[in-house]
């Protein structure tokens, strides 16, 4: 009986100590332990029993609250609330507990010892109609960590530590400028600091999520380059350059009139401006590509170079003359006699043969009148003539008028350094032409000189 009373007395004494702490903390006031034998009064919990075997815990109560995590030993039942708190104190892995707000049908309180606290499981700390929650007293109870910082209780020191994300300081009160230090933004992205975080935005000319940015090829999509400009993609941008023959900033390009400025046309050529370019055409009496023009020199087989008789034409008849040169040259075309009387247009089909091979041919209509004694007909391009090779020039003129003719033909003629020898007759002639008379007064060759030597 005495033993029972002594045991009851000791239990009552320990109950009173815990109850005092419970009362103090539940009224949101922190008081250091008044037991002079407890040297570590700045701690919220002591389980080492170093002070005459007495351990202690300061608890904070949350009425009608429940921490919904797995209990250490499932749910137990106690006779009173202090008994649940003593069980937590005696269990090293216990940091808080749930205890029933009222007794159950067996006149006992349900007790759940928990391995963690509400600060580390704030998302599972919920309202309850049947439970109270007790946790070890800590400054975390005032939720000092700002900006969603997580409060880590330091129970042995009656202190706390804030785990901050995007913030710094004791209570996570100061924003960290991530853009001022190493971050995940790409080198071609702009870092924008925000409260507690930052974001990355690819710079103009780049695309991506900010952490990875790739160059945009503006030349492959719609851009501001003019239709007469070339687009050149660059890293993060592009530029526009007006094409040859145009001028401007690339976004606006206008045609350059090359004929109004210095150009490559020969002095004996005519310049014709075109959109974005220009062309050069040798003037009458000259041959070449327009950038180089030389005189078209006629090798005359008429001694007087003037007509002295008339020449009639039968339907479909052909005038022909055979010739050779003593040097290579370019044949441009022929000179023909004009109409003797009246005014008409000559329909001419003129050709050049080497043996039986047709080298070139052209059809044309040439207006003429008696005041125009001769006129030139040209091939579309110059024909290469090789020295010592026999060629035949033909002209088929369709007209009912009588043309001029000559009767003082020569056997050979020299022009621009070459000598042309004319045959007496040609087998291709069907109109009575010969070396002495006919429709061909001259063959026109390209000269290597700017004027023809007569």
Q: What is the pLDDT of residues 354-370, one digit of tens each?
A: 999 999 999 988 888 88
Q: What is the pTM of this model?
A: 0.44
Q: What pLDDT is attached to residue 97?
A: 96
Q: What pLDDT is attached to residue 23?
A: 35
Q: What pLDDT is attached to residue 369?
A: 82
- Decide if 393 contacts 334 (C-beta within 8 A): yes
Q: What pLDDT is attached to residue 47?
A: 64
Residue ranges and CATH numbers for the domains of the chain are 2-137 (3.50.4.10), 258-287 (no CATH), 295-446 (2.60.120.820)
Beta strands, E only, 70-136 = 76-78, 96-100, 109-114, 125-127, 131-136
- C-alpha 405/C-alpha 373 separation (Å) is 10
SS3 296: strand
SS3 371: coil
Tens-digit pLDDT profile for residues 110-146 = 999 999 999 889 899 999 999 999 998 889 888 899 9
- Decide if 241 contacts 232 (C-beta within 8 A): yes
Q: What pLDDT is attached to residue 232?
A: 95
- Decide if 187 contacts 196 (C-beta within 8 A): no
Q: What pLDDT is attached to residue 449?
A: 52
Q: What pLDDT is attached to residue 374?
A: 86
- C-alpha 109/C-alpha 114 separation (Å) is 16
Which residues of the chain register pLDDT less than 50?
A: 1-42, 50-52, 450-451, 453-454
SS3 322: strand
b/e map 407-420, b = 16+ CB within 10 Å: eebeeebebbebeb
* Mean pLDDT across the chain: 83
Q: What pLDDT is attached to residue 43?
A: 54
- Decide if 330 contacts 384 (C-beta within 8 A): yes
- C-alpha 24/C-alpha 190 separation (Å) is 54
CA torsion through residues 426, 431, 435, 438, sign: negative
- C-alpha 155/C-alpha 11 separation (Å) is 25
CB atoms within 10 A of CB 375: 16
- Decide if 217 contacts 231 (C-beta within 8 A): no
């Amino acid at each position: 009986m005495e033993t029972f009373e002594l045991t009851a007395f000791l239990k009552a004494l320990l109950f009173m100590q815990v109850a005092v702490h419970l009362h103090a903390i539940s009224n949101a006031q922190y008081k250091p332990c008044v037991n002079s034998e407890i040297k570590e009064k700045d701690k919220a919990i002591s389980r080492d029993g170093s002070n005459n075997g007495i351990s202690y815990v300061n608890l904070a109560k949350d009425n009608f609250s429940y921490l919904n995590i797995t209990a250490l030993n499932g749910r137990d039942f106690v006779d009173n609330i202090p008994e649940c708190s003593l069980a937590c104190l005696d269990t090293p892995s216990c940091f808080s507990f749930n205890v029933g707000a009222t007794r159950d049908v067996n006149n006992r309180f349900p007790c759940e010892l928990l391995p963690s606290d509400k600060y580390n499981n704030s998302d599972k700390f919920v309202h309850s109609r049947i439970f109270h929650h007790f946790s070890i007293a800590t400054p975390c109870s005032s939720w000092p960590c700002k900006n969603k910082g997580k409060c880590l209780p330091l129970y042995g020191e009656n202190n706390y530590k804030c785990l901050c994300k995007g913030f710094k300081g004791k209570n996570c009160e100061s924003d960290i400028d991530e853009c001022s230090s190493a971050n995940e933004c790409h080198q071609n992205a702009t870092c924008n600091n925000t409260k507690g975080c930052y974001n990355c935005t690819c710079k103009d000319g780049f695309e991506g999520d900010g952490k990875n940015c790739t160059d945009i090829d503006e030349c492959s999509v719609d851009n501001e380059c003019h239709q007469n400009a070339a687009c050149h993609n660059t890293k993060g941008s592009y530029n526009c350059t007006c094409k040859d023959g145009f001028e401007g900033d690339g976004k606006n390009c206008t045609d350059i009139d090359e004929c109004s400025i210095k150009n490559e046309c020969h002095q004996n050529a005519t310049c014709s401006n075109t959109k974005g370019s220009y062309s050069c055409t040798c003037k009458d009496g000259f041959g070449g590509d327009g950038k180089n023009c030389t005189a078209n020199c006629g090798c005359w087989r008429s001694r007087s170079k003037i007509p002295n008789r008339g020449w009639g034409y039968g339907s479909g008849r052909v005038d022909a003359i055979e010739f050779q040169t003593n040097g290579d040259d370019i044949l441009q075309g022929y000179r023909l006699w004009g109409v003797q009387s009246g005014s008409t247009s000559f329909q001419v089909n003129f050709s050049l043969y080497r043996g039986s091979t047709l080298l070139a041919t052209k059809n044309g209509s040439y207006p003429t009148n008696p005041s125009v004694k001769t006129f030139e007909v040209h091939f579309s391009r110059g024909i290469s003539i090789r020295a010592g090779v026999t060629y035949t020039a033909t002209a088929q003129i369709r007209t009912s008028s009588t043309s001029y003719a000559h009767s003082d033909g020569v056997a050979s003629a020299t022009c621009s350094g070459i000598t042309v020898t004319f045959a007496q007759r040609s087998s291709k002639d069907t109109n009575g032409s010969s070396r002495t008379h006919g429709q061909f007064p001259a063959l026109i060759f390209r000269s290597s000189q700017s004027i023809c030597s007569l």
